[in-house]
Amino acid sequence: MSELRNDTFLKALLREPVDYTPVWMMRQAGRYLPEYRATRSQAGDFLSLCKNADLACEVTIQPLERFPLDAAILFSDILTIPDAMGLELYFETGEGPKFKKIIRSEQDVDALIQPKMDDELDYVMNAVRVIRRELNGRVPLIGFSGSPWTLATYMVEGGSTKDFRHIKGMMYSQPEVLHKLLDRLADSVIDYLNAQILAGAQAVQIFDTWGGVLGHREYREFSLAYMQRIVAGLIRENEGRKVPVILFTKNGGQWLEVMAGTGADALGLDWTTHVGEARERVGHQVALQGNMDPSVLYGSPARIREEVMRILDDFGSHNGHVFNLGHGIHQFVNPENAGVFVEAVHEFSARK
Ligand code: CP3
C-alpha cells in the first residue's frame, strides 16, 4: 500500500497534535454534485452504483477533486446489511429506501440470513479495495455502518418513518424480539466493519441516525449497548496504524458521557450541541467531529465563513477536532458553497 500523504484526519481523531483542523462532509458524494448525478444515471440506479466498484470509486473521489477534503468516505449505504440479510432493498424515486420483506415477528427474525462478507457483501469490500488503490495515499478512507438500532428501524418499518410506530410498538410489546434482531445485527456489523478495515478502511464511523428518537433509558438499552459491543469487537489497528472509531448518534448531545464510555475514539455531533461545552464534558476522553448545521450552506459565503469561525472558536483548540457538518449535506446545496466551507475551515484553523 502506498504511504498516506495526509494523515491529519487520523491524528485529530486520536487527539494528536495537528497543523490545522481537518474537514470532511457527511454525504460528501451525492446528488448536490452534477458529476455524481451523471455517474448515477450511467449506473442506472443507486444500488447498481453501490455494486459497481469502479463507479463507486469514481463517485467517492469526485468531491476530493473539487474540494481539499481531508478524508474520503466509502460510497455505499447503511442498508446494504439488511439487503444482504434477505430483505431486498429498493429505492422508489422521491420516497427513499424500501424493503420487499419486513420484520414484524420472531419468525421473521429467525428467517434472516447471516450475511457473509466474502459473498453477499463482497461488493462492498471490493469497492473499498478499488478506492484505496485509486486514492493512492492521498487521504484516509472512512468505512461505515449503520447502528443496529438504526438498521432495525428501517427493517421493521419497511423504510423511512416519521413516527416509528412499528419499531417502537415492537420495543414496548415484544422487547425480546427486538433484542434478538439487534443481537443479530450487532454480530453482522462487527463482521462488516472488520471486513472493511481488512480491505483497507482506515477509520470507521457508526451512523446512529435514529438513536435520538429514543427515551434516555431506551437509548442505553436498545442502541448504546449494541454500539458498545461493536466497538469492543472491532479491529483497532491495521497496516501498523490505529483505526479510529467514530460514533454518531444524531440528536444524542445529551448522552455524550455514556457514548464516550463505549471506548470509541471520537463522537460525531449534530448542531444542537455547543462544541465547546461538549469538549468540556468529554474532551479528555474522545475527539469530537462536527458540527455545522448543513443548512448554513444555503447562506452567503460570508455567512458560511462566519459560522465556521464561530465553531472553531467555540471548540477553542486545534487538537481533537474534526470539522464536519452536523448531518449529511443537502441535495439542493450549491457545490460552490461547500467549497467555501471546506476552505474556511483550513484557512481559519491553520496554525500561524
Ligand atoms: O457520505 C457519503 O458520501 C457516503 C455515502 C453514504 C450514503 N448513505 C449514500 C447515499 C452514506 C454514509 C450513507 C449513510 C446512510 N444511508 C444513512 C446514515 C447517514 C444519515 O444520513 O443519517 C442512512 C439513514 C441511510 C439510508 C438511506 N440511503 C436513505 C434514507 C436514503 C435516501 C436519502 C435521500 O436523500 O433520498 C439513502 C439513499 C442514498 N444513500 C443516497 C446516497 C448518495 C441518495 C441516492 C440517490 O438518489 O442517488
Q: What is the pLDDT of residues 6-24, one digit of tens each?
A: 999 999 999 999 999 999 9
pLDDT of 300 reads 98
| 97 Cβ closer than 6 Å to some ligand 1 atom | yes
- pLDDT at residue 103 tops 90: yes
Band of residue 125 on the pLDDT scale cut at 50, 70, 90? very high
Percent over 90 (pLDDT), the chain: 97
Of ligand 1's atoms, which has the minimum distance to the CA of residue 160?
30
Peptide bond into 291 cis (omega under 30): yes
pLDDT band at 351 (very low <50, low <70, confident <90, very high): confident
More confident residue, 33 or 92: 33
Instruction: Please write the tens of the pLDDT for every residue from 39-83.
Output: 999 999 999 999 999 999 999 999 999 999 999 999 999 999 999
Residue 352 pLDDT exceeds 60 = no
**Cα separation, 138 vs 132, whole angstroms:** 9
Instruction: Look up cell 472558536; give the residue.
Output: 313
Confirm whether 229 is a catalytic residue.
Answer: no
Report residue 238 as a C-alpha cell: 491495521
**Which of left, alpha, beta for 298 (phi over 0: left; psi -120 to 50: alpha)?**
alpha
Instruction: Output the nine-digit C-alpha cell for 70.
Output: 481531508
Q: Classify burial at 174, counting beta carbons within 10 Å of its beta carbon; exposed 0-12, middle 13-18, buried 19 or more.
A: middle
Taking the C-alpha atoms of residue 75 and residue 128, their distance in angstroms, rounded to an integer, is 9
Is 209 a known ligand-binding residue? yes
128-173 pLDDT tens trace: 999 999 999 999 999 999 999 999 999 999 999 999 999 999 999 9
Using alpha carbons only, how large is the chain's radius of gyration in Å?
A: 19
Domains of the chain and any CATH numbers: 8-349 (3.20.20.210)
- Is 327 a known ligand-binding residue? yes
> Which tens digits make up the pLDDT trace of 239-298?
999 999 999 999 999 999 999 999 999 999 999 999 999 999 999 999 999 999 999 999
27 lines ligand 1 (CB under 6 A): yes
State how far the alpha carbon of 135 is from the alpha carbons of 51, 62, 73, 97, 224, in Å.
19, 11, 11, 29, 33
292 φ, ψ to 5°?
Answer: -75, 135
Residue 1 confidence (pLDDT): 67
Collect all residues with Cβ–Cβ distance below 8 Å to 77 and sequence separation of at least 6.
46, 47, 50, 89, 97
pLDDT of residue 92: 83
Contact at 8 Å (CB) between 129 and 136?
no
The closest alpha carbon to 82, from 53, 57, 108, 107, belongs to 108
In the annotation, is 154 catalytic? Answer: yes
Please say if 163 is a catalytic residue: no
- Residue 137: count of CB within 10 angstroms of its CB: 13
Q: Is the dihedral of CA 90, 43, 329, 144 positive or negative?
A: positive
Rounded to the nearest angstrom, the distance between the alpha carbon of 226 and the centre of ligand 1 is 22
* 178-212 per-position pLDDT tens digit: 999 999 999 999 999 999 999 999 999 999 999 99
Q: Using an 8 Å Cβ cutoff, are 26 and 142 in contact?
A: no
**Residue whose CB lies within 8 A of the most ligand 1 atoms, among 23, 24, 25, 27, for a mutation test:** 27
Residue 138 annotated to the active site = no
- What whole-number distance in Å separates Cα of residue 324 and Cα of residue 311? 10
Using an 8 Å Cβ cutoff, are 297 and 345 in contact?
Answer: no
253/221 Cα distance (integer angstroms): 17
